[in-house]
């Protein structure tokens, strides 16, 4: 079970959060093409490695968090506000 | 006399406290402190079960949770509990246990004939043999296999042992798993350093390997005394850590003693969910079997287990045991048996020489060095052991038991859960785990550090390192001078199998032989994970712990690789079986799925409502006991003809406020809200990012910066999350706040041609005339003296109002409405009547808003705004979603008005061999039209208006001719709602 350190509430169990998907893509501009919208909505990298993702703290402060998580080891490198630029480690595998 | 018996006092048993129990109907007597296994051995019982596949006789092999064979059914007053290992089952007064898998009796098992037919039951036989014909599986093969194979039995009616269970949550700095030499030393060091420590031991007593060596008694007692005095160290015996879940979360199952159980209303097991900053795995090592022909005969036992029975319970497994070993560690059993006065039939050591063998010879014990066991003979127990010297020559030992030891493998399951890397250690012939120190450390025998003193020092060192990582000052570590010295040993030599005639088992629980492993390899199942699944090696309750590596070694030999390259199958939770009841804890029944009650639940109940669960809400379905349509139609007819009232408090309500509220709603909804004047409501469509419909509902503008959204009951949580996500991820620049007010407001719909008169009698300060308060008006008002809100919205298709009041005042306003409506025959109506009304009107609900429909599919394309951005805008315009052949919403009626419709019936073209063109989503008998009416999703539906199709429901044997119509079957001009 993941334990996520919410910047507002402290360390909380995964069961308090709702996963909201890949946070690495910003929504397309209103003027973007249909192809760009399709890519943004459906195409995912599915990496084995570091992954930037959204978690909504529905069982707590109801704030949206941006999380850098390793999909293999589940290590969480950083948790931040939705518009914080979080550094994603370069290596594909956690140590 | 041959066979097992009790010969001395045990460390854990009390000689003056007898305990009576029954096994397979026989009345037997053991001692307090016994397990069922030790008590059976003390009574001379060796044969305790039949094997899974071949029904071969089986005895007790181990003294712990790794037991593959001695599984029993425990009979309790409330039912039968299967698959309890006798080796961990505490003996209690009146315990009734039965052996498994035998018929008609344990000694004479008819199905052991399977043993003779064994050559026809190779690995993978399920896949190969029982393939065809298709019908035969259900009728022939499966019943046959189910009778012949399998472990325990479940009582279909048993529910009692699911009764009391509880879950507790623990938080600690360090979780230490295992209280052997390493775990005790580590707990002592960390406890002294001031860390919060939980020390969990799966056995009933602390000590692990130190219990088997009398020199360690003083040290063990000192450690235990000191730990008991440390307030920051919690010690839990009978507690097995069954899973490690990352991020410091662990699950452990604690077994309660009868005394504790009595204190907790019969609670037998307690599930701990432990959150720890670090874990220290001191889980020790597990002795391995050796695969030789007959290694499953009762009386063949692991050498360390035999020693455990002798030391803990004073029970010897035989009067004349032989020992088959490959390491000096195993000689400890030989020495202790000699000290207990048991005459050893001889030691068979595969190594040409060893220090321990020399010591044994000095004690007058016969050691056959450089030899191995060819096979064991006997019917229900060991009679003779045939041995062969590696240099040539054979011999026979008369023995009543054989104690085998193929070396020790670190218990790596938990480390494996945590993703540890496993290193091959040649010195112990096994894998040892390497854990990320940020997660924890492995200490003692669990990482291949054998010898009790070495393990204790290793545990203390790991604890010191961990204390430093946790920022604690390291206190006094270990009274090193007190540690008994580990004996000087000759290295072990790996020995996996002795090939010969007869079955040699690598997995005793699943009846997997060395030949099965080789067969799997020959048939292409070369990877250890594939071999595991093809042969079932290492599965089921014991997870193949005593033979797992042996199976890998046999596979490695077949592949021509070293074992280190073949590896072990990945271990996953749970380490040992645990009852579902323990996992569920108190979360059963209503604690598993809570109910949400409407503010007026009690009133509805008193009015005779039958309820239906929508989401978690209990909503009145119909206020009548009849199960047929009579009551529903009576309620719906009242609405069409006069007036009815229904409780819609379960609708989701989201309050939206802020200077940018209108802009935000324009982005969230496919239609526009910024143009909505204050005091007006508008029906809204919300799309998902992919352009499909998410939800619908009315939104009212209560002020320039203040909106109130209603959502469908079942979708309220989803809609709120969707809006919160969009607001925080995409629109953070908008100044808007969302607040869920679903529970704060009760809401009632008053519908029917007389509804204005009823509402007017309750509302003060608001002109309800059509001119002053038209369709889709919204306003604050005083309702029966309570400050509330009035909306002129309609789901039924009639003139209707919805009244919202703070939930605490619901009864007052509801009563006033009933009183005001009495003259018009007002009646409450339930969800069924509401459904009838909305189907007639062609309003959609969850059956049509099913996640696969677009606004165009439901005939609402023109609601989508053409300028400005909104969620789902672009993807809703994909050409495929605009195809005229998509399933579109239509209405329908049977041509023969006496026929009924069914939800889910498929629509096809008459007489042709037609594929389905769509299906009926909602249907009801009509109150206004003759017969049934329905809504359907039909391919190219709007273009088919006027056509006749067949609605077919093969499982009901029905084919009904239907006419396709507009979904708006009544009042398509919307005259009534504007009246």
pLDDT given for residue A93 in this prediction: 46
Are B149 and B55 in contact by the 8 Å Cβ rule? The answer is no
Are B669 and B707 in contact by the 8 Å Cβ rule? The answer is no
- Residue B332 belongs to what H/E stretch? helix B331-339
Does the domain made of B883-965 have the CATH classification 2.40.30.110? Answer: yes
Lowest mean pLDDT among B140-154, B158-172, B733-747, B882-896: B140-154
Chain A hits for B874, CB-CB cut-off 8 Å, are: 28, 32, 34, 37
Distances (CA, A) of B501 to B291, B293, B348: 12, 7, 19
Class of domain B287-408+490-566: alpha beta
Task: Of B499, B22, B496, B502, give the one whose Cα is nearest residue B297.
Answer: B502
Q: Which two tokens stand for residue B374?
A: 């060819």
Name the pLDDT band for B259 (thresholds 50, 70, 90): confident
pLDDT given for residue B45 in this prediction: 95
- B872 reaches A (C-beta below 8 A): no
Are A73 and A94 in contact by the 8 Å Cβ rule? The answer is yes
Tell me the three-class secondary structure of B112-168, residue by residue. HHHHHHHHHCCCCHHHHHCCCCCCHHHHHHHHHHHHHCCCCCCCCCCCHHHCCCEEE
Contact state of B245 with A28 under an 8 Å Cβ cutoff: no
- Asked whether the predicted pLDDT for residue B763 surpasses 70, the reply is yes
pLDDT given for residue B349 in this prediction: 97
Class of domain A3-80: alpha beta
**pLDDT by residue (tens digit) across B92-127?**
999 999 998 665 567 666 555 555 555 555 666 555
- Residue B664 belongs to what H/E stretch? helix B661-668
pLDDT given for residue B132 in this prediction: 54
**pLDDT by residue (tens digit) across B4-50?**
999 999 999 999 999 999 999 999 999 999 999 999 999 999 999 88
Whose structure tokens read 């859960």? B417
Cis peptide before B689 (omega within 30 of 0): no
Domain boundaries, chain B: 5-115, 164-285+410-472, 287-408+490-566, 602-650+744-829, 652-741, 883-965
Q: Which two tokens stand for residue B954?
A: 């093969």
pLDDT given for residue B855 in this prediction: 96
Are B622 and B631 in contact by the 8 Å Cβ rule? The answer is yes
Tell me the three-class secondary structure of B809-833, residue by residue. HHHHHHHHHHHHHHHHCCEECCHHH
- Asked whether the predicted pLDDT for residue B150 surpasses 60, the reply is no
Name the pLDDT band for B80 (thresholds 50, 70, 90): confident
Q: Which two tokens stand for residue B154?
A: 């479940």
Average pLDDT in chain B: 92
Does the domain made of B5-115 have the CATH classification 3.30.390.10? Answer: no
**pLDDT by residue (tens digit) across B156-184?**
555 544 557 789 999 999 999 999 999 99
Contact state of A34 with B436 under an 8 Å Cβ cutoff: no
Whose structure tokens read 């003759």? B930
Contact state of A73 with B419 under an 8 Å Cβ cutoff: yes
Task: Of B269, B365, B264, B292, give the one whose Cα is nearest residue B322.
Answer: B365
pLDDT given for residue B586 in this prediction: 82
Instruction: State mean pLDDT over B405-429.
Output: 95
Class of domain B652-741: alpha beta
**pLDDT by residue (tens digit) across B469-498?**
999 976 656 655 579 999 999 999 999 999
* Strands B706-711 vs B652-657: parallel, antiparallel or unpaired: antiparallel
Contact state of B245 with A1 under an 8 Å Cβ cutoff: yes
Name the pLDDT band for B591 (thresholds 50, 70, 90): confident
- A76 reaches B (C-beta below 8 A): yes
- Asked whether the predicted pLDDT for residue B137 surpasses 90, the reply is no
pLDDT given for residue B268 in this prediction: 85
Strand order in the sheet with B384-389: B371-377, B384-389, B394-398
Would you tell me which CATH number, out of the four given (3.40.50.880, 3.40.50.300, 3.50.50.60, 3.30.70.1450), belongs to the domain B164-285+410-472? 3.50.50.60
* Rounded Cα gap, residues B599 and B647, in angstroms: 9
* Rounded Cα gap, residues B347 and B331, in angstroms: 9
Contact state of B247 with A74 under an 8 Å Cβ cutoff: yes
The CATH superfamily label for domain B602-650+744-829 reads Probable tRNA modification gtpase trme; domain 1 (3.30.1360.120)
**pLDDT by residue (tens digit) across B825-868?**
999 999 999 999 999 999 999 999 999 999 999 999 999 999 99
pLDDT given for residue B668 in this prediction: 97
Angle, CA B703 vertex, CA B698 and CA B707 arms, to 5°:
35
Nearest CA to CA, how far is B869 from chain A (Å)?
A: 6
Distances (CA, A) of A43 to A11, B66, B276, B875: 31, 47, 38, 14
- Asked whether the predicted pLDDT for residue A95 surpasses 50, the reply is no
- A61 reaches B (C-beta below 8 A): no
Nearest CA to CA, how far is A37 from chain B (Å)?
A: 7
- Residue B434 belongs to what H/E stretch? strand B430-434
Are B864 and B882 in contact by the 8 Å Cβ rule? The answer is no
Contact state of B729 with A28 under an 8 Å Cβ cutoff: no
Q: For A4, which residue in chain B has the nearest alpha carbon?
A: B247
- Using a pLDDT cut of 90, give the percent of chain B over it: 81
DSSP tag of B808 = G
Task: Of B237, B207, B212, B234, give the one whose Cα is nearest residue B222.
Answer: B207
**pLDDT by residue (tens digit) across B632-651?**
999 999 999 999 999 999 99
Nearest to B247 among A3, A56, A83 (CB): A3
- Asked whether the predicted pLDDT for residue B886 surpasses 50, the reply is yes
Task: Of B423, B422, B373, give the one whose Cα is nearest residue B401.
Answer: B373
- Asked whether the predicted pLDDT for residue B593 surpasses 90, the reply is no
- Asked whether the predicted pLDDT for residue B358 surpasses 70, the reply is yes
- Asked whether the predicted pLDDT for residue B467 surpasses 80, the reply is yes
* Rounded Cα gap, residues B689 and B729, in angstroms: 13
Contact state of A41 with B875 under an 8 Å Cβ cutoff: yes
Nearest to B249 among A1, A34, A63 (CB): A1
- Residue B559 belongs to what H/E stretch? helix B548-559
Burial of B76 per CB tally in 10 Å (0-12, 13-18, 19+): middle
Chain A hits for B724, CB-CB cut-off 8 Å, are: 56, 62, 64
* Rounded Cα gap, residues A70 and A93, in angstroms: 8
- Asked whether the predicted pLDDT for residue B151 surpasses 90, the reply is no
Name the pLDDT band for A94 (thresholds 50, 70, 90): very low
Burial of B806 per CB tally in 10 Å (0-12, 13-18, 19+): middle
DSSP SS3 for B220: helix
Domain boundaries, chain A: 3-80
**Rg (alpha carbons) of chain A, rounded to whole number:** 14
pLDDT given for residue B578 in this prediction: 84
Distances (CA, A) of B597 to B448, B602, B678, B815: 58, 9, 32, 18
Instruction: State mean pLDDT over B335-344.
Output: 96
Task: Of B672, B666, B663, give the one whose Cα is nearest residue B862.
Answer: B672
- Asked whether the predicted pLDDT for residue B147 surpasses 90, the reply is no
pLDDT given for residue A27 in this prediction: 79
pLDDT given for residue B875 in this prediction: 94
Q: Which two tokens stand for residue B785?
A: 């003296």
**Same fold? B164-285+410-472, B287-408+490-566:** yes
Positive or negative: CA dihedral B87, B13, B301, B495: positive
pLDDT given for residue B140 in this prediction: 63
Cis peptide before B133 (omega within 30 of 0): yes
């Amino acid at each position: 079970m993941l334990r996520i350190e919410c910047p507002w509430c402290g360390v909380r169990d995964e069961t308090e959060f709702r996963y909201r998907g890949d946070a690495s893509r910003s929504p397309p501009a209103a003027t973007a093409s249909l192809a760009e919208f399709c890519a943004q909505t459906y195409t995912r990298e599915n990496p084995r490695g570091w992954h930037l993702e959204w978690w909504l703290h529905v069982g707590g402060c109801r704030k949206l968090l941006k999380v850098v998580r390793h999909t293999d080891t589940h290590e969480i490198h950083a948790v931040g506000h939705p518009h914080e630029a979080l550094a994603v480690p370069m290596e594909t595998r956690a140590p | 006399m041959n066979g097992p018996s009790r010969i001395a006092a045990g460390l854990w048993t009390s000689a003056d406290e007898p305990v009576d129990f029954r096994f397979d109907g026989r009345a037997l007597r053991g001692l307090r402190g016994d397990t069922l296994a030790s008590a059976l051995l003390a009574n001379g019982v060796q044969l305790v079960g039949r094997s899974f596949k071949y029904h071969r006789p089986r005895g007790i092999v181990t003294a712990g949770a790794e037991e593959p064979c001695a599984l029993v059914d425990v009979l309790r007053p409330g039912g039968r509990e299967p698959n309890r290992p006798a080796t961990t089952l505490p003996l209690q007064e009146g315990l009734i246990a039965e052996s498994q898998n035998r018929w008609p009796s344990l000694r004479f098992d008819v199905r052991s004939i399977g043993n003779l037919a064994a050559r026809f039951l190779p690995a993978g036989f399920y896949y190969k043999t029982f393939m065809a014909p298709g019908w035969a599986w259900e009728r022939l093969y499966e019943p046959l296999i189910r009778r012949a194979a399998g472990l325990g039995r479940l009582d279909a009616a048993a529910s009692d042992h699911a009764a009391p269970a509880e879950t507790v949550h623990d938080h600690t700095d360090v979780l230490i798993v295992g209280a052997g030499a390493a775990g005790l030393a580590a707990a002592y060091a960390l406890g002294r350093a001031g860390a919060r420590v939980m020390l969990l031991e799966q056995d009933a007593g602390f000590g692990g390997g130190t219990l088997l060596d009398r020199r360690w008694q003083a040290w063990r007692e000192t450690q235990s005394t000191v730990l008991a005095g440390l307030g920051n160290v919690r010690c839990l015996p009978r507690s097995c850590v069954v899973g490690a879940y990352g991020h410091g979360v662990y699950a452990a199952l604690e077994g309660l003693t009868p005394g504790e159980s009595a204190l907790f209303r019969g609670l037998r097991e307690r599930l701990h969910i432990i959150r720890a900053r670090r874990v220290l795995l001191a889980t020790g090592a597990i002795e391995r079997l050796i695969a030789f022909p007959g290694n499953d005969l009762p009386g063949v036992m692991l050498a360390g287990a035999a020693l455990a029975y002798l030391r803990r319970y004073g029970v010897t497994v035989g009067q004349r045991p032989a020992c088959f070993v490959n390491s000096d560690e195993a000689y400890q059993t030989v020495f202790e048996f000699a000290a207990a006065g048991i005459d050893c039939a001889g030691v068979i050591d595969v190594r040409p020489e060893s220090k321990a063998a020399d010591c044994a010879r000095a004690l007058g014990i016969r050691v056959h060095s450089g030899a191995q066991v060819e096979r064991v003979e006997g019917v229900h127990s060991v009679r003779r052991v045939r041995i062969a010297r590696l240099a040539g020559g054979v011999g026979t030992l008369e023995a009543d038991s054989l104690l085998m030891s193929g070396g020790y493998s670190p218990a790596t399951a938990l480390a494996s859960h945590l993703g540890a890397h496993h290193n091959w250690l040649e010195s112990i012939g096994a894998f040892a785990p390497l854990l990320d120190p940020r997660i924890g450390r492995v200490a003692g025998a669990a990482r291949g550090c054998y010898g009790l003193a070495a393990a204790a020092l290793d545990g203390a060192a790991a604890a010191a390192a961990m204390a430093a990582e946790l920022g604690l000052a390291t206190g006094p570590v270990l009274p090193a001078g007190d540690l008994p010295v580990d004996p000087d040993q000759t290295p072990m030599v790996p020995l996996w199998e002795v090939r010969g005639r007869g079955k040699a088992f690598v997995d005793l629980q699943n009846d997997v032989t060395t030949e099965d492993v080789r067969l799997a390899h020959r048939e292409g199942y070369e990877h250890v994970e594939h071999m595991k699944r093809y042969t079932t090696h290492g599965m089921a309750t014991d997870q193949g712990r005593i033979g797992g590596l042996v199976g890998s070694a046999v596979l490695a030999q077949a592949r021509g690789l070293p074992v280190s390259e073949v590896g072990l199958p990945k271990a996953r939770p749970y380490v040992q079986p645990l009852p579902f009841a323990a996992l569920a804890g108190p979360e059963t029944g209503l604690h598993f799925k809570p109910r949400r009650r409407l503010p007026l639940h009690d009133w509805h109940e008193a009015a005779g409502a039958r309820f239906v669960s929508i989401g978690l809400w209990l909503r009145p379905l119909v206020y009548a006991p009849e199960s047929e349509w009579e009551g529903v139609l009576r309620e719906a007819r009242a609405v069409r003809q006069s007036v009815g009232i229904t409780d819609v408090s379960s609708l989701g309500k989201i309050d939206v406020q802020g200077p940018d509220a209108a802009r935000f709603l324009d982005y969230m909804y496919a239609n526009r809200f910024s143009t909505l004047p204050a005091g007006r409501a508008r029906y809204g469509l919300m799309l998902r990012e992919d352009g499909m419909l998410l939800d619908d509902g009315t939104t009212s503008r209560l002020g320039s910066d203040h909106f109130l959204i209603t959502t469908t009951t079942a979708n309220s949580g989803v809609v709120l999350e969707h809006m919160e996500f969009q607001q925080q991820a995409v629109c953070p620049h908008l100044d808007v706040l969302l607040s869920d007010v679903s529970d704060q407001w009760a809401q009632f719909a008053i519908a029917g041609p007389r509804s204005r008169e009823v509402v007017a009698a309750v509302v003060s300060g608001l002109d309800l005339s059509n001119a002053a308060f038209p369709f889709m008006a919204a306003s604050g008002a005083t309702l029966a003296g309570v400050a509330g809100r009035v909306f002129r919205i309609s789901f039924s298709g009639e003139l209707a109002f919805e009244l919202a009041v703070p939930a605490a005042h619901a009864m007052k306003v509801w009563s006033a409405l009933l009183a005001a409506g009495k003259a018009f025959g007002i009646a409450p109506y339930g969800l069924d009547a509401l459904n009838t009304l909305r189907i007639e009107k062609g309003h959609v609900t969850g059956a049509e808003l099913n996640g696969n429909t677009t606004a165009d599919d439901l005939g609402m394309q023109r609601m989508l705004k053409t300028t400005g951005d909104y969620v789902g805008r672009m993807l809703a315009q994909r050409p495929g979603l605009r195809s005229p052949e998509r399933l579109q919403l239509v209405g329908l009626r049977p041509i023969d008005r006496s026929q009924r419709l069914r939800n889910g019936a498929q629509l096809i073209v008459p007489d042709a061999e037609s594929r389905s063109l769509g299906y009926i989503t909602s249907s009801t008998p009509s109150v206004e039209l003759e017969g049934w009416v329905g809504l359907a999703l039909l391919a190219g539906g709007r273009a088919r208006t006027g056509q006749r199709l067949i609605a077919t429901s093969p499982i009901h044997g029905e084919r009904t001719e239907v006419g396709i119509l507009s979904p708006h079957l009544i009042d398509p001009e919307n005259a009534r709602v504007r009246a």
